[in-house]
Structure 1
Amino acid sequence: MPIAAIRTHRFSAPLHTPFVTSLRRATSVDSLLVEVIDSDGRSGFGEAPQVWAVTGANMAGSQAAVEEMIGPRLIGRDPDDLNANCAIVAKAVVGNEAAKAAVDVALHDLAARRLGIPLPRLLGAPAITAATSSAAANSAADGDGAGAGPGRGVVVATDVTLAAGAAEALGAAAKERVAEGFRVLKVKVGTDAEGDLARIRAVCDAVGGAAKVRLDANQGWTPREAIRIINGISEEGLPVEFVEQPVAAKDLDGLAHVSQRVDIPIMADESVFGLRDLVEVIRRRAADLVNVKLAKCGGLGVARTLLVLAESHGLGTCVGSMMEGPVGLGAAASLVAAYPTSVVSDLDAAWWLSESPLQGGLRYINGTVVLPDTPGLGIDL
């Protein structure tokens, strides 16, 4: 039952609210879906999000990489030979991490479907049994890990993003998200350094301790601005959990400079795509935490290695996503289910969709991602 075909599908779905950061404004999710099909007609799916401003990946480029370079190397191979197949994907083309991640996830999804088990189980998450207590689901919502609920599948806690905007609008959005059950808010800042402290204050005042607050500047500050703003947060006693990517991605000296001069932990995101990047962050002591994303690193295997390496060197861990749909989010949440992170992960991207052409897959309930207890990702076109 070899791999018989690899197909690509362009996926675009509108957002219910514009997603605004210091880098871009998005009104839709635009991704390339990759479908790997065995000779019995079973399919596994993966997703390559188009994110010009962060990864440079786009649907046309990802489609060319899959159809011309990666896919032909897999046709005829045994889909159960997962490690060897993923190694072929990794070596098929330089760069193109989003395309590689899509094929890598599709191969994992297909392997799990062939075994009749959910993707989290394939990755090493505990099996769900009828005796599983709903208390595990509650712990996922209140803590940093993953749990399960009977008949529901694996439950993984997530934050929710507050798009960049005016202080009053951010405060109102914060109250709405808490009312909807989210207990961790990720506030997008970096669009206007002079007004960011007021925005942060508005969110913290609005939630009043009902939710954790973390910040993401998306490279929007200079090192000097970052130090001033973050020390201002500390001086005011605002309860900020950490600050993500305060300075330009390639400015590791600046990132280290900030990290060593503030009390609030600093997370690296755009600065870390793969292993070499993480090693350099560790060597320079440039950050306290790292955000691992499949579309940046190229697949589940590399992502696992990044999480283990970060943890072994004392860095906090988080699994995030680009603005992508339920296929990419399902894979990221499955990874967290098998490799729990030290902080609540950033898995809200599919929550922003107003509609989706896909069937099945994850759901959002009370600030958590609920993965189906079905083979693979449980998603069909």
Structure 2
Amino acid sequence: MKVSTHLVSAPLHTPFITALRTATHADSLLVEVTDGELSGWGEAPQVWKVTGDSLAGSQACVEGPITAALDGLGPDDLTEALRRVQNAATGNFGAKGAVDVALHDLAARRRGQTLHGFLGSTVDTVRTDMTLSVGDPDALAAAAQARLADGFDVLKVKVGTDARADVERVRCVREAIGPEPTLRLDANQGWSRRDAVTAIRAMEDAGCDLELVEQPVVAADLEGMAWVTDRVRTPILADESVYGVRDLVNVIRHGAADMVNVKLAKCGGLGPARTLLELAREHGIRTIVGSMMESHVGVGAAAALVSAYPTSAVNDLDAAWWLKEAPVTGGIRYDGALIHLPAAPGLGVTGLTV
């Protein structure tokens, strides 16, 4: 097997604004694992403010210790290859996730199966929410109405910049969209524990009818998140607090959250993601699968995972929707809130567009 890397920077059609950053491009490292005429693809996004993984670091990890660890293995040694990828380096979850997905993609293609079929599913569509970037109340309300018109019925509002102002933003969005659409929030670690409780209770009292609030406090403050969870009616979803199994175990022990958001670039690929989903279910923790600012490669892999391992709520896989154009040919296709998985083998990706 040959491992290659490709740096891509795909412009967004609309800036993506959160409490942590503003993005105008999706910068990723695409990984290609080749066996003869077949190639498997994976993706490591650059998300400085969340994972800390850089394109340069992911590329160095893939081309260095991970490629060295795979040396001498054949394409039929998937289980051993995945084990070696996870043990090749500490951290570097984006790099590991990209190679893990590429190896799964290649294995599926060699069998002539779709990736979701390879994972054991016959379901070829999954639903996603749609994110509303941080903005003033009027802009958020207008964006919410536009996304409903686009066919999305689960909206995620980015908050966390100012707790008091966030209450007004969310109230305006709920007023604009009416009672039927599902509304969820993502604070991206932006609130203190006291601000989180004050804001969430205010929204509950205002009838905002929130499905969940994601990562209200800083990732390391599990006691703070448990304090919030105990004091509000709205379910709390852990995101940045959970990368791997040890993190999820700590969330469970602290009673820090009702739900967990599993992301391939955080946990290191499809193998670790399946473990996290199964562990969460065993302990009564509800689940969703999310995405970073990834292209059709990373989102396609996450969608294939969801197809085979259904989650407790609609998933957060809108990242590739924000791209002006895909950096690859083939792969998933958006149709409103539905993501259509490809019928072609693997991820259905046939090459780069740049």
- Do the two structures share a fold, i.e. TM-score over 0.5? yes
Instruction: Name the structure 1 match of 2:76.
Output: 80
Among 312, 324, 335, the alignment partner of 1:342 is: 312
Among 293, 303, 311, the alignment partner of 2:273 is: 303
Report the CA distance between 1:172 and its aligned residue. 0.3
Tell me if 1:236 matches 2:206.
yes
Distance 1:331 1:32 in 2: 15
- Counterparts of 1:70-109 in structure 2, within 5 Å, are 70-109=66-105
Percentage of identical aligned residues? 60
Distance 1:357 1:76 in 2: 31
Deviations 1:115-164 (A, max 9, x none): 000000111113xxxxxxxxxxxxxxxxxxxx4xxxxxx11000010000
Partner secondary structure for residue 375 of structure 1:
coil
Matching residue's letter, 2:49: A
Partner secondary structure for residue 51 of structure 1:
coil
Query: How many residues matched?
Result: 351
TM score, norm. by length of structure 2: 0.98
Distance 2:324 2:272 in 1: 31
Instruction: Name the structure 2 match of 1:134.
Output: none
Instruction: Name the structure 2 match of 1:292.
Output: 262
Q: Structure 1: which 4+ aligned runs deviate by more than 4 Å?
A: none
Distance 2:52 2:250 in 1: 22
Distance 1:174 1:296 in 2: 28
Does the aligned pair in 2 maintain the 1:178–1:210 contact within 8 Å? no
Instruction: Name the structure 2 match of 1:257.
Output: 227
Distance 2:209 2:226 in 1: 22
Q: What CA RMSD, in Å, does the superposition of the two structures yield over aligned residues? A: 0.8
Distance 1:185 1:8 in 2: 34
Tell me if 1:31 matches 2:1.
no
Deviations 1:165-186 (A, max 9, x none): 0010000000000011001001
Report the CA distance between 1:210 and its aligned residue. 3.6
Instruction: Name the structure 2 match of 1:20.
Output: 17
Does the aligned pair in 2 maintain the 1:292–1:318 contact within 8 Å? yes
Instruction: Name the structure 1 match of 2:132.
Output: 162
Instruction: Name the structure 1 match of 2:108.
Output: 112
Matching residue's letter, 1:358: V
Distance 1:277 1:201 in 2: 33
Distance 1:210 1:10 in 2: 42
Instruction: Name the structure 2 match of 1:224.
Output: 194
Among 2, 6, 27, the alignment partner of 2:3 is: 6
Answer with 46-55 or 189-198: which moved more: 189-198
Instruction: Name the structure 1 match of 2:117.
Output: 121
Instruction: Name the structure 2 match of 1:43.
Output: 39
Report the CA distance between 1:72 and its aligned residue. 2.1
Among 327, 330, 350, the alignment partner of 1:357 is: 327
Report the CA distance between 1:198 and its aligned residue. 0.5
Partner secondary structure for residue 305 of structure 1:
helix
Instruction: Name the structure 1 match of 2:64.
Output: 68
Matching residue's letter, 1:16: H
Distance 1:107 1:321 in 2: 19
Instruction: Name the structure 2 match of 1:279.
Output: 249
Report the CA distance between 1:75 and its aligned residue. 3.2
Distance 2:182 2:25 in 1: 27
Instruction: Name the structure 2 match of 1:58.
Output: 54
- Counterparts of 1:132-143 in structure 2, within 5 Å, are none
TM score, norm. by length of structure 1: 0.91
Does the aligned pair in 1 maintain the 2:235–2:258 contact within 8 Å? yes
Matching residue's letter, 2:4: R
Instruction: Name the structure 2 match of 1:142.
Output: none
